[in-house]
């Protein structure tokens, strides 16, 4: 796989520094115990301007995670947006990109306990065009690793250490020739894809999983649901089992990196077709959402001004 190229400047230790100089000890608490929370944000370069998708919502989710995890790190929205603005300008952006803010602890420490540790913010950026190919959808495998629930780790926090769950699921799926893994809770209800949310279209109804909130509160799925409501569709919340996915009209998959895509198959059964050997195709809701999302990021949607943070 190609090496990831990062942008020249990052935010680290309360200042903008060259990416290579933003380094920590191998014994840091965050590296040893996964004590981080992070965000993944997309920015677009359109008509000579940088527009960041739902920056304030990402800020809120990051600070909420820091609070839930007890990191005791907080900065205000004004401080956060000023840092992001300065970093974007310093990197002189002229392409679509991905931004990774995270709260972490760089102190070397042997024990996992929190006492006496300070957490801080860092941000790095990288160019990112489309993460999944625009042709076709994902071939998913039912993961044998269950999604953890909120009684073990706060599921609303993008907590670094919890991604070992996504790592196990997605690596197994890819090792077996699939694109990604569909995650279930302990009772066998569908929760999400390893790093993306799902929306099921089943017998014409739009359903999102009601699994006691085991899924991350994704910002892309929230946007997709708001776009569906904007277009007059009703959203239902309910339990989704594997059989429903096999026989669904569509399984939409949403996430910052993937944007809005769909699953072509689950465990080699095509989704949206009765014939086991049929060739899967994108469905009507996928097409609608993809075009609505493109309008939003191109500044051509009524919701664009609400959702895009334009760096002036
Ligand atoms: N679930 C998990 C576990 C994720 O890591 C992500 C990616 N952040 C998502 C869902 C999708 O969330 P978002 O749309 O905010 O990127």
Q: What is the pLDDT of residues 220-233, one digit of tens each?
A: 999 999 999 999 99
C-alpha distances (whole Å) from 190 to each of 158, 172, 242 are 19, 18, 7
DSSP letter string over 275-297?
STTPPP---HHHHHHHHHHHHHH
With bands split at pLDDT 50, 70 and 90, how would you rate the model's confidence at 4? confident
Pick the atom of ligand 1 nearest to 222's CA: 14
Report which secondary-structure segment, H or E, holds 103.
Answer: strand 97-104
Does residue 32 lie within any of the structural domains? Answer: yes
Look at residues 67, 92, 127 and tell me which one is the last residue of a structural domain: 127
Strands (E), 144-267: 180-184, 190-193, 197-202, 205-209, 235-238, 250-255, 259-266
For residue 44, give its domain range. 9-127
Q: Which of 54, 65, 166, 195 to mutate to test the pocket of ligand 1 (most atoms within 8 A of CB)?
A: 195
Which residue has its alpha carbon closest to ligand 1 atom 5?
195
Report the C-alpha gap between 151 and 153 in whole angstroms.
6
The domain total for the chain is 2
With bands split at pLDDT 50, 70 and 90, how would you rate the model's confidence at 205? very high
Using the mean position of ligand 1's atoms as its centre, give its distance from the Cα of residue 79 in Å: 24
Q: Which two three-digit tokens encode residue 138? A: 């994902």
Look at residues 102, 127, 152 and tell me which one is the last residue of a structural domain: 127
- The verdict on 142 and 277 lying in the same domain is yes
Task: Write the pLDDT tens digit of every residue in 98-131.
Answer: 999 999 999 999 999 988 999 999 999 999 987 6
pLDDT, residue 136, reads 87
Burial of 215 per CB tally in 10 Å (0-12, 13-18, 19+): buried
Report the C-alpha gap between 96 and 43 in whole angstroms.
6
Using the mean position of ligand 1's atoms as its centre, give its distance from the Cα of residue 164 in Å: 14
Does residue 163 lie within any of the structural domains? Answer: yes
Predicted confidence (pLDDT) at residue 1 exceeds the cutoff of 60: no
Which residue has its alpha carbon closest to ligand 1 atom 10?
196
Give residues (CB < 6 A) around ligand 1.
40, 158, 166, 192, 195-197, 216, 218-221, 254-256
Q: How far is CA 178 from the centre of its chain?
A: 19
Q: Which of 163, 170, 196 to mutate to test the pocket of ligand 1 (most atoms within 8 A of CB)?
A: 196
Which residue has its alpha carbon closest to ligand 1 atom 7?
195
Pick the atom of ligand 1 nearest to 194's CA: 3
Look at residues 127, 159, 174 and tell me which one is the last residue of a structural domain: 127
CATH of the domain at 143: 3.20.10.10
> Among residues of the chain, what percentage have pLDDT more than 90?
92
With bands split at pLDDT 50, 70 and 90, how would you rate the model's confidence at 199? very high
What pTM was computed for the model? 0.96
Report which secondary-structure segment, H or E, holds 140.
Answer: strand 138-142
- The verdict on 121 and 163 lying in the same domain is no
Report the C-alpha gap between 56 and 80 in whole angstroms.
9
Which residue has its alpha carbon closest to ligand 1 atom 4?
195
Residue 15: CB atoms within 10 A of its CB come to 10
- The verdict on 151 and 293 lying in the same domain is yes
- The verdict on 102 and 169 lying in the same domain is no
Does residue 167 lie within any of the structural domains? Answer: yes
- The verdict on 159 and 256 lying in the same domain is yes
Using the mean position of ligand 1's atoms as its centre, give its distance from the Cα of residue 33 in Å: 21
Residues 206/246, Cβ–Cβ less than 8 Å: no
Does residue 91 lie within any of the structural domains? Answer: yes
């Amino acid at each position: 796989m190609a090496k990831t190229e990062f942008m020249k400047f990052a935010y680290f230790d309360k200042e903008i520094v060259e990416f290579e100089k933003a380094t920590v000890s191998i014994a840091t608490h965050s590296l040893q115990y996964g004590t981080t929370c992070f965000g993944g944000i997309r920015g677009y370069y359109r008509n000579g301007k940088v527009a960041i998708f739902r920056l304030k919502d990402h800020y809120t989710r990051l600070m909420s995670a820091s609070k839930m995890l007890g990191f005791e790190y907080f900065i205000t929205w004004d401080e956060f947006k000023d840092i992001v603005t300065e970093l974007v300008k310093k990197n002189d952006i002229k392409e679509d990109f991905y931004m990774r803010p995270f709260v972490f602890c760089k102190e070397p420490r042997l024990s996992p306990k929190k006492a006496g540790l300070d957490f801080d913010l860092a941000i790095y950026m990288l160019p990112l065009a489309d993460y999944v190919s625009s042709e076709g959808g994902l071939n998913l495998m039912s993961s044998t690793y269950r999604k953890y629930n909120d009684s073990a780790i706060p599921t609303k926090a993008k907590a670094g250490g919890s991604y070992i769950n996504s790592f196990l699921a997605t690596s197994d799926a890819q090792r077996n020739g699939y694109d990604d893994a569909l995650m279930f809770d302990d009772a066998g209800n569908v929760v999400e894809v390893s790093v993306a949310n799902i929306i099921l279209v089943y017998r014409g109804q739009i359903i999102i999983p009601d699994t006691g909130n085991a899924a991350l509160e994704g910002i892309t799925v929230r946007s997709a649901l708001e776009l569906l409501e904007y277009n007059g569709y009703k959203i239902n919340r309910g339990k989704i089992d594997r059989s429903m996915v096999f026989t669904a009209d569509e399984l939409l998959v949403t996430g910052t990196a993937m944007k809005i895509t769909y699953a072509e198959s689950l465990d080699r059964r095509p989704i949206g077709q009765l014939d086991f050997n049929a060739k899967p195709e994108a469905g009507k809701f996928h097409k609608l959402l993809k075009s609505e999302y493109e309008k939003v990021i191109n500044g051509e949607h009524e919701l664009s001004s609400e959702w895009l943070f334009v760096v002036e």
